[in-house]
Amino acid sequence: MRLRRLATAMACACLGFPALAQITVTDILDRQVTIPEPADRIVLGEGRHLSVLGLIHDDPVSLVAGWRLERPLDEPTMAAWRATFPAIDAIRTVGGGARGISAESVIALQPDLLVMSLMDANDPAMQRARAQIEAAGIPVVHVDFFSHPQENSIPSLRILGKLTGAEDRAEEFARFYNERLDRVRDRLATSDAPRPGVFFHVHAAAQNCCSTVGQGVFHDFIATAGGRNLAAEVAPGVQGNVSLEYLIGADPDFYIATGGPHMAARGGLVLGSGVDADQARDSFAALTGAPGFSSLTAVRNGHAAGVWHLFNDSPVHIALIEYLAKTFHPDLFADLDPAATLAEIETRFSPVAVDGTWWIDNRQ
């Protein structure tokens, strides 16, 4: 593909035609990345970013030649994509677990572009692979929808939009996102409502409690939605662990658990794609009814909720911010409808509909 484009550019020059217009972006690492024209043969460093491409392309599968499966689409989501785009099974695997990627596999595919994440920048093995891939003449761009989602998601979407010829679609989603984010921020800025203490229990299960969040990712969502992340001081990194005794002693105003289909095997909170409301409700009741959890003031007062964990790696997290704002400040955000926001994203932007249960609570 790149050889064909080079030949076309040389032919244009020889015939006196204008050269192909180059596309240059500055990525999340502040690196300049240049390609000769919009990329239509891409390798994704994270498989789940196919859904992000789907926000700006009607057929993102046709653009993806390969992907790394360290962070793949979950099985129900993959099934939904396969039903709409059977060609998804032709995407080649270029790496799997432990954040590894095969430079040889990427180079063999001769893509126009490799998309890597911000987390890859701190991995020496991934950076060695990037150097090999770039030495072979394949451009590499870094994006971020996870480490600092509010800061980087929309810039990253714009980067992908420009590099793949979907700038208008990226701007349309950016307006949709920013209108909703500004509504939450502006309303909180003019309110004197106190910020409640919030404990976020990630990958939540009653056993081996409790994994929680420090800085970045869900911490940012809590703060934007008008809450205080109680674990920020005891979990100084992105994620940390505290004891059940700590949680009971902190006695948060709101207890928020995250879960997914992967938690079924661990007896934890089951939410997300392919999960029906009854299964979600039963797993949430088992979690909040477990010893220690049932004594929390938040649980007893109807201030406990569960949310899908994978809101944390897509701009779709704007619906989660709305849900949290309405949970923490129900009077201030009585008019917010996060379910409608999700539905609009699905019908207006995404080419694939995925059934599931995305949140649950015990409001009385």
Q: 136: closest CA among 163, 113, 119?
A: 113
Q: Is the pLDDT of residue 334 over 70?
A: yes
Closest CA to 200 of 224, 216, 219: 219
- Give me the residue label for tokens 């390969």: 66
Question: Looking at residue 95, what is its pLDDT?
Answer: 85
Instruction: Set out the domains of the chain in order of their start, with CATH numbers.
Output: 2-177 (3.40.50.1980), 193-361 (3.40.50.1980)
CA 4/CA 242 separation, integer angstroms: 56
DSSP string, 84-141: H-GGGGGPEE---STT---HHHHHHH--SEEEEEGGGGG-HHHHHHHHHHHHTT--EE
The DSSP line for 180-233 is HHHHHHHHHHT------EEEEETT--STT--EEE-SSTHHHHHHHTT-EEGGGT
Cis amide linkage into residue 209, ω under 30° from 0: no
State phi, psi for 111 to the nearest 5 degrees: -75, 165
The confidence score (pLDDT) of residue 6 equals 46
Residue 7 has pLDDT above 70, yes or no: no
pLDDT tens column, 39-74? 999 999 999 999 999 999 999 999 999 999 878 899
Q: What is the pLDDT of residue 12?
A: 45
CA distance 262 to 112: 34
Find out whether 328 and 298 touch, Cβ atoms under 8 Å: no
Mean pLDDT of the chain: 92
Stretch among 5-9, 100-104, 224-228 having the lowest mean pLDDT = 5-9
Alpha-carbon distances of 195 from 228, 233, 236, 263, 360, rounded to whole Å: 6, 16, 20, 30, 22
pTM: 0.91
pLDDT-based confidence at residue 97 (cuts at 50, 70, 90): low
Distances (CA, A) of 127 to 52, 150, 251, 274: 23, 25, 43, 35
